[in-house]
Amino acid sequence: MNKTYMQPKEAITREWFVIDATDLPLGRLATKAASLLRGKHKKEFTPHNDNGDFVIVINAEKVKLTGNKLNKKVYYNHSGYPGGIRERKASVMKDKYPEEMVERAIQGMLPKNRLGRQMFRKLYVYKGAEHNHQAQKPKEMKVE
């Protein structure tokens, strides 16, 4: 009888990947990044362990939104106080806070628990083409 392999925490090896967001649809970028953060691309994927890799997203301001999402999509924040809701259109988010827009898309595709928060900490998003993780020798990841 075959047993399902469950990778122990000690055996986890992590790599670094760079994704260039230039002219990529936001959803395609987010699904690829979330999959890498979770470790679903590895043959030893274990759902209850964080065995994913580190992901660096560059050129976040050049990400593409298809259709009329730039004008119609709205991002909400609430302070917790009455009347404390704030809403921003995707066009404002792309101009002023492109890193947050990409982070929110990716975080929405991760588990909603402490494991998901742990995975999210391995994500680094940068507005321009420069990042300060050259010492980790990240590999270029292509997104179709």
pLDDT along the chain (144 residues), means of 10: 84 96 97 97 92 97 96 97 97 97 98 97 97 96 89
CB 57 within 8 A of CB 102: yes
> Domains in the chain, ordered, with CATH?
15-64+97-130 (3.90.1180.10)
Task: State the pTM of this model.
Answer: 0.93
Predicted local distance difference test score (pLDDT) of residue 5: 84
- H and E: helices and strands count for the chain: 5, 6
Predicted local distance difference test score (pLDDT) of residue 144: 81
Radius of gyration of the chain (CA): 17
Predicted local distance difference test score (pLDDT) of residue 2: 74
Residue 102 CA to residue 92 CA, distance in Å, equals 13
